[in-house]
């Protein structure tokens, strides 16, 4: 492909080194999604979220991104705060061009934009670039879809009999090859053991089991549970301790027979370095880290530190899940299942095939509105 093959810029637009205003246009709107099965973790239950759809247009090309709210401890991003940030982003980006991704990233950090809004902008800029070049993002990065591992589907905290039903529901719906079991019940580790046993009894042979406590244990309970879960064939344990207790992680890793991953304790690549001597892997999420650009930095930093990498999600639609799927050939483990639990996902993107989330061959993200594909 030559430069002459690229789509022509829109009339009145000018490249960043030109004298005219590049006139990047930013639009955004909210959309509400409802979960098929409300998800309960150690911090509470979620049944519905209102996310933000952000679009960036220049040169007659439109890139899409998504921001979904989330809360970890004192760090909270609500729909309202994301909307207010989007209003500021609209004014900040208007004088710039999507090709100025590095400058835009620094500008958003300088203005302390929420990480989910930075993720939406960064994903939209990547989508724009892929469409500009005519390549899907995984090809633009030189990755291979064949390297994408199966993703887990999540079983939230529930009484044992409901947990059994959730296993049946999810396997019938998806044919998943791996389950992530949420533990850290407020009722204590005996409730965790009862729920885990129910899930394990219901899961067919060959289905991989992983556990996420979402910071729901203290040190003693975490050590006890890691040993107990290791005897039952669990692959790894994620976030055994609350964010803020990272100094206790070396003791957990030393006494646990299972690999320890962290999620809430790791936001950016800078956190990876601080955690490298006390865990076996990190879980990155686009909303938490601020987009694909920082996700790539997390992957490379983790590899340099000898750590494994997992990709996760919040209440993301197919838009954000597809963005993560394009980068997922770089991951050791995947937990990209939030879109599977939505009754009213407004987008269509990556395919679910044989337990894997696979991006397509269309330029950019390859995401469309569901109403446009009906």
- 29-43 residue pLDDT tens: 999 999 999 899 988
**Do 276 and 344 reside in the same domain of the chain?**
yes
Q: How confident is the model at residue 18 (pLDDT cuts 50, 70, 90)?
A: very low
Domain end, chosen from 135, 151, 167, is at 135
Structure confidence at residue 359 (pLDDT): 98
- Can you give the pTM of this predicted structure? 0.93
- The domain that contains 11 carries what CATH number? 3.30.390.10
Structure confidence at residue 362 (pLDDT): 98
Q: Nearest CA to 98 among 34, 227, 10, 29?
A: 10
Domain end, chosen from 135, 151, 182, is at 135
Domain end, chosen from 135, 150, 167, is at 135
**Do 50 and 180 reside in the same domain of the chain?**
no
**Do 71 and 161 reside in the same domain of the chain?**
no
**Do 83 and 177 reside in the same domain of the chain?**
no
Structure confidence at residue 112 (pLDDT): 96
For the chain, percent of residues with pLDDT exceeding 70: 94
Q: How confident is the model at residue 311 (pLDDT cuts 50, 70, 90)?
A: very high
**Do 126 and 155 reside in the same domain of the chain?**
no
Give the pLDDT confidence of 69-107 residue by residue, as tens digits.
999 978 899 999 999 999 999 999 999 999 999 999 999
**Res 20 pLDDT > 50:** no
Structure confidence at residue 11 (pLDDT): 34
**Do 291 and 263 reside in the same domain of the chain?**
yes
**Res 203 pLDDT > 80:** yes
**String of DSSP letters for 81-118:** HHHHHHHHHHHHHTTS-TT-HHHHHHHHHHTT--HHHH
**Do 367 and 309 reside in the same domain of the chain?**
yes
Structure confidence at residue 22 (pLDDT): 57
**Do 291 and 335 reside in the same domain of the chain?**
yes
Structure confidence at residue 58 (pLDDT): 97
- The domain that contains 190 carries what CATH number? 3.20.20.120
**Do 120 and 157 reside in the same domain of the chain?**
no
**Res 234 pLDDT > 90:** yes
Tokens in use for 269? 């690549």
**Do 97 and 175 reside in the same domain of the chain?**
no
**Do 291 and 369 reside in the same domain of the chain?**
yes
Helix axes 115-133, 79-93, angle to 10 degrees: 50
**Res 17 pLDDT > 80:** no
Structure confidence at residue 5 (pLDDT): 38
Structure confidence at residue 13 (pLDDT): 38
- When the pLDDT of each residue in the chain is averaged and rounded to a whole number, the result is 93
**Rounded to 5 degrees, what are φ and ψ at 271?**
-70, -30
**Res 4 pLDDT > 70:** no
2-11, 257-266, 297-306: range with lowest mean pLDDT: 2-11
Number of domains in the chain: 2
In the three-class reduction of DSSP (H, G, I as helix; E, B as strand; rest coil), residue 298 is classed as: helix
**Res 9 pLDDT > 70:** no
Structure confidence at residue 6 (pLDDT): 32
Residues near 162 by Cβ (< 8 Å), separated by ≥ 6? none
108: domain range?
A: 3-135
Read off the pLDDT of each residue in 257-267 and give the average, rounded to a whole number.
98
In the three-class reduction of DSSP (H, G, I as helix; E, B as strand; rest coil), residue 332 is classed as: coil
Q: How confident is the model at residue 7 (pLDDT cuts 50, 70, 90)?
A: very low
**Res 8 pLDDT > 60:** no
Task: For the chain, list the strands marked E by DSSP.
Answer: 25-41, 44-58, 61-67, 70-72, 75-77, 153-155, 178-182, 208-212, 237-238, 260-262, 281-284, 308-311, 333-334, 347-348, 351-353, 356-358, 368-369
Give the pLDDT confidence of 146-179 residue by residue, as tens digits.
999 999 999 999 999 999 999 999 999 999 999 9
**Do 151 and 111 reside in the same domain of the chain?**
no
């Amino acid at each position: 492909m030559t430069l002459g093959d690229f789509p022509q810029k829109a009339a009145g637009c000018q490249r960043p080194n030109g004298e005219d205003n590049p006139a990047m246009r930013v639009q955004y709107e909210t959309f509400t999604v409802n979960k098929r099965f409300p998800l309960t973790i150690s911090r509470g239950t979620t049944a519905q979220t209102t996310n933000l759809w952000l679009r960036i247009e220049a040169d007659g090309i439109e890139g899409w991104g998504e921001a979904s709210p989330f809360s970890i401890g004192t760090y909270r991003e609500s729909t309202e705060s994301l909307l207010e940030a989007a209003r500021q982003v609209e004014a900040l980006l208007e004088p710039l061009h999507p090709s100025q991704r590095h400058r835009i990233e620094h500008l958003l950090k300088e203005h302390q934009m929420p990480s989910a809004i930075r993720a939406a902008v960064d994903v939209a800029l990547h989508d724009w670039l892929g469409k500009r070049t005519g390549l899907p993002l995984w090809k633009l990065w030189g990755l291979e879809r064949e390297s994408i591992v199966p993703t887990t589907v999540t079983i939230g905290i529930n009484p044992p009999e409901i947990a059994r039903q959730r296993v049946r529901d999810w396997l019938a719906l998806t044919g998943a090859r791996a389950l992530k079991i949420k533990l850290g019940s407020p009722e204590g580790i005996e409730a965790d053991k009862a729920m885990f046993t129910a899930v394990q009894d219901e899961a067919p042979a060959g289905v991989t089991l992983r556990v996420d406590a979402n910071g729901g244990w203290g040190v003693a309970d975490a050590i006890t549970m890691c040993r107990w879960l290791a005897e039952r064939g669990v692959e790894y344990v994620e976030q055994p301790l609350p964010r803020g207790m990272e100094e206790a992680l070396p003791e957990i890793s030393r006494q646990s027979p299972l690999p320890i991953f962290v999620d809430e304790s790791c936001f950016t690549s800078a956190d990876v370095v601080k955690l490298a001597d006390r865990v076996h892997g990190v879980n990155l999420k686009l909303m938490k880290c601020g987009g694909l650009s920082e996700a790539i930095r997390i992957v490379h930093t983790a590899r340099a530190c000898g750590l494994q990498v997992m990709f996760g999600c919040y209440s993301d639609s197919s838009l954000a899940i597809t963005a993560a799927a394009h980068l997922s050939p770089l991951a050791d483990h995947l937990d990209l299942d939030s879109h599977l639990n939505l009754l009213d996902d407004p987008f269509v993107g990556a395919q679910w095939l044989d337990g894997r989330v696979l991006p397509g061959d269309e330029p950019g993200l390859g995401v469309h509105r569901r109403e446009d594909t009906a």
